[in-house]
Every structure is written in C-alpha cells, then in structure tokens.
Structure 1
C-alpha cells in the first residue's frame, strides 16, 4: 500500500473514531448509548458477540432427505497457505453425505504443509496445487469445465453446517424459479468455537446496491447464472463476490434468503477480510459507482441500508429470544 494512501486512510479512521466517541459523550443515558452502539455495529457485521463456546451441531434441524433426482452440486475451495484450517473445511463438505457432488480444492502452490494435508486426506474430492493470480483466479480454475446444476465456493477457512447440501438441493428442486440462495451464518474463532451469529431478514435488492450483506460462504447459485455472467472478475481481490452478486441481480436473477443456518465464517488474525481492508474500500467504491452512478457518502450509505439493518436487528433479537428458530 502506498504510504501516502495509508496515512490518509489512518487519518480518516481516526476522524471516524473521534466522531463516534463524541456521539457516546453526548448520548443521554446508558440505554441510548447502547442503542447507538448497536446501530454503529449491527449484529450482521459484529463477529465476536459473546465469549467462545462449543458449537452444538445437534441443536440444528436435521438434514432433509436427499432427493432421488438430486441435482449435481459443484463446490470449489480456493486455498493458499491455510493448512491450519483447510482440513476442517474439506471435512465439512465431504461429510455431507451428498453423492452427486463435485468438490475441488484449488491451491495456489502453498508452502505451509497444505500439500501434505491434501495427499493424506484420501478420496471424496479432487485437488490441484499450482500458481495462480489470486483467489478469483483460483475459483475460475476450479470451475473450468465442470458439469453441474448448482455451484458455490467455500473459502479454505470456512465450514458448511451439516445438512446444508441436502437442504439447498431440495429447495432448488422445489423452486425452479429461484436462481440464487443464501442463509444465516455463524461466526467461529480460530479454534472452531462459536462467537456470534448473523440472522438475516428476507432479501432486499435495494440495500444490496449499497452494501454487501450476503454471507458468501452460505451462497449457492444455478449454473445458468454462471453461464450468463461468469466467470469471477479477476480484477477484484476482495469484493469479487459482491461484484458477482450485483451482476446477477442486474441480470434479473431471483434471490432468496433461506430460513436456515448454512455455514460458519471463521474469524482469525490472518484472514483476508482483515488484512486487505484498504483494497476492499477501493473495490467497494468501484462497485457502488458502477451500480448507483455516483459515489455515495457514508451518511448516504447508512440511510439507504437503515431499513434493512432495522429488520436485521429485529430478526437477531427474535432468534436470541427463541421467537424464531432455525
């Protein structure tokens, strides 16, 4: 990152932090301060919501029966130097018991023991390790020439929850008009312990133009979407999923948020989301200008997504109070 750009970014972050501090100082009473804090950091984007605890997989709905004419699902995991987490990612897919599955790990010539791990895991998936041009490139390489009906990619530090593939396959089979689906997510730490949850309201196409709220690790789409707008744009290194989503929405494909927890998003120090923040800011700006036709201010973004975040907050507490069960 350019030193001048880094300095400017730090100045902006400091100004935001100062403004938030002043808001807290003038808030009247602890209740109002707490509400304001929730508004600044909605549960949707608050990863560590409580102390780490064991993830109770038995608490979720059992996996539905896999349909006899189960559609072929293709999943690609792009990977680079993630041997620490990759084993859990692979196991979460291969243990689904979904027979009509093509699962491929596309590794970018890792040097951290990933190759030894891949060689030791046996069957149930294919893999290749070779240099690539980044995550987007690895995804495209993994999907090249694949014959399937449903597609998804799962990053090498995230995991699917049990029954996800059967649930998604059943939904697509019974809803032929739906093109893209996604669901609720769970946040886990580096040790696989649960630290938070994101319960989402129904899909909101207007809010999506201002902010990407779709949990990428829970998203599946029909191959006809890929055939129309794919492959992944390799000029994006952070917001490639939002770029793909916005193109799909602009092309008229139908999105549905499923009422189920589908996957876990892992939080750790070395994850891409934290280490490439500046790149993400630039790429998200590019996408907003392309879709909206102008560069919205932070205040304009907040106002545009306020109705969605209000609904998300309601869904969050309804689930927390067991009024909504998934």
Structure 2
C-alpha cells in the first residue's frame, strides 16, 4: 500500500470516528431530553453540560450586577482571540472586549489566514486592538503566537465565537488586586445560540480540585490567570487541539497554583453547528484520555469518572436550582 493511499485511509478513518462519536453524543442528548425531569437525566446530563435548557430569549445585559469601579492601579490585562473563518461571530467577540473600556488592556486577534471576510472586519476595527493574520498550526499555536512577548499581569483568551459580559474585566481586576494569593479565577457562564440569544445558564459550585482530575468543568471563556502561572508552567501545549485548556489547568493545579470560582456570570459560550467542541469530539475523547492517564496513572471508565465527580455534580444541581428559585443571586 503506497503512502498516499494510507494517508487517505487514515483520514477517512478519523472522519468515521468523529461521526460515530458525534452520533453517540447526539443519542445521549436525545435520551436526556426525553427524560428531562427525571433524576436519571440529571445524572446523565447535568445542567452545567446541558447547553439548550429553554427556548431562545433575549439576553438582558442590564439584569446583571453593575460593573465595579476600575481600581486606580488597574493591572495590565492581556487578552488573545484565536480566530479562523469565524467572521460572522468575531465582531461580537471583539466588541464585548473593547466596549469594556478597561484602561490597561492589551487585546490581540491572532487569525489563521481566514478567507471569509475576517480580514476586512479586522481592518475596520481601528486602534481598539492589534491583530495579525497568518497561517498557524491550530488554535493552540494561535494563542501562543498572540501572547508572545506580551508584558502584562493578567492573561486570558476568548475564542472567536464567545463574548465577555459587561463589567467582567473590571470585576476580575478588582478581585486579583484584593486577593494577591489567588492565581486563577473563573466564573459562571451563559449559553447563547448562533444569533446571540440566551438558551441556558451554568451556575457552578466552589472549586473542587479532585473532581477536576476526572473532568474539566471550568468554563474556559470565563478563566483568567496571573502571568506568573504562564511563566512557570509554560504556554499552551500545541500537541493538544481539543483539551488544550484542561491540559493547561491540570498543569497549573499540579504546580500548586490557587483556583477560585467567582460568584458572577463572566462570559457567554456560543452554541452553533460549526463549533469545534462538536466537530472534533473523537479527537477530544482521545486527548482527555491522555490527560487522565497522566494525572491519575490510569484511564478510568465512564462509571469511575461519574462516581468520582458525583459529589461535585450534586452540588452543581443544587446551585442550579438554588439560582432558578432565587435563593442564589449573581
């Protein structure tokens, strides 16, 4: 068998694996939807991993707590958006960051040579951000390129289809200034559809380092960290294309850095057909297996994972319904 034919067969096999994995995932979603009110459905599909929880509705930005005052000694925040052919969503992502009017912000879009009108959009943004469009080796590579040589105190990346909620940068900056012992923060998330309409919310309990070894429950789009974390554990591992954020999180946890879940909605996670989370599900399953093997010393079964994270899932369900009933306010 010649090399070219083998490569084509390997590519075809990977496509089939992705389709099978997506089919399994969709069957789980259908099953969970049919038993939405049962305890079994909560076990199979906890609220924090159920994207479409109710019919689409307008997201009322005025309903959130007002942004705190920006501290006088506002720490320098560096944010990077990796982008490739997401021009239809990128404008909202950029606006959600620039409109925060944070005075000490470095914001950069690292585009992978898009061909969908992204370049024209970036040219129209003026001086509100820096950007570069060039071929890269994927999302991990783009993030590392965007952060290369940046001088800052706080770091974060926001994908080109997600958005920050108003006041997030001021809130995060205030928290870091008043809590010098904290290294990494994250918060609650909102799910939006391709039109930007709200379809769900995820309210998280306090950080649980043990559960994190089995499953990545941290919403990447809400996560910020001090540069000392990056300097110590290194940049994003470009060998990962799906679980890159979980790898970074686990390396930070292993290094002893302190995590805190903030009691606030910080960002919105967009659900759409071309989303990487769905399109590379089989790749993600393999990468998550690699990380569990590295951290735990073995690759647990699905039942072992469920049992290990069960206490955290119970708390999450309690927080979810506590928020829905108005007992918790964010």
Q: TM-score band, normalised by the shorter chain?
A: over 0.9
Q: Is 2:38 aligned against 1:64?
A: no
Cα drift, residue 16 of structure 1: 8.9
TM-score (norm 1): 0.93
The match for 2:160 among 156, 161, 165 is 156
Aligned-partner SS, 1:123: helix
Deviations 1:283-315 (A, max 9, x none): 000000000000100000000000000000000
2:22/2:281 contact within 8 Å kept: no
1:45 alignment partner in structure 2: 49
In 2, distance between residues paired with 1:20 and 1:162? 31
1:322 partner SS: coil
Q: TM-score, normalised by structure 2?
A: 0.92
Which residue number in structure 2 is paired with residue 263 of structure 1? 267
1:289 aligns with 2:302: no
Asked if 1:244 corresponds to 2:248, the answer is yes
Structure 1 residue 4 displacement after superposition: 5.0
The aligned residue for residue 204 of structure 2 is 200
Match status 1:75 vs 2:91: no
Task: Return the offset for 1:121.
Answer: 1.5
TM-aligned CA distance change 1:7 to 1:322, over 3 Å: same
CA RMSD of aligned residues (A): 2.3
Cα distance in 1 for partners of 2:122, 2:22 equals 41
Q: Give the Cα separation in 2 of the matches to 1:15 and 1:275.
A: 13
> SS of the counterpart of 2:321?
helix
Could you say what secondary structure the match of 1:202 adopts?
A: coil
What per-residue deviation string (whole Å, max 9, x for no partner) do you get for residues 224-275 of structure 1? 0000012100000000000000000000000000000000000000010010
Change (3 A) 1:100 1:300: same
Of the candidates 170, 185, 188, which is equivalent to residue 189 of structure 2?
185
Label 1:9 to 1:153 Cα distance change in 2 as closer, same or farther (>3 A). closer
Whole-angstrom CA distance in 2 between matches of 1:259 and 1:177: 18
C-alpha displacement of 1:12: 7.7
Shift of 1:175: 0.2
C-alpha distance in structure 1 between counterparts of 2:268 and 2:54, whole Å:
16
Query: Matched residues in 1 for 2:30 and 2:168: separation?
Result: 42
Give the equivalent residue in structure 2 for 1:172.
Answer: 176
Residue 2 of structure 1 and its aligned partner are, at CA, apart by: 5.1
Q: How far is 1:216 from its partner? A: 0.1
| Equivalence map 1:1-326=2 (5 Å) | 3=12, 34-326=38-330
Pair 1:23–1:153, CA change in 2 (3 A):
closer
- Please report how far the alpha carbon of residue 7 of structure 1 lies from its aligned counterpart in structure 2 after TM superposition: 5.7
Cα distance, 1:294–1:59 mapped onto 2, change above 3 Å: same
* Of 208-217 and 12-21, the range deviating more from structure 2: 12-21
The Cα of 1:9 is off from its aligned counterpart by 7.2
Deviation at 1:19, TM superposition (A): 9.8
Unaligned runs of 5+ in 2: 1-9
In structure 2, the CA distance between the partners of 1:39 and 1:129, relative to structure 1 (3 Å rule), is same
1: CA distance, partners of 2:22 / 2:223: 31
Residue 77 of structure 1 aligns to a residue in which SS? strand
Q: Distance in 2 between matches of 1:55 and 1:325?
A: 17
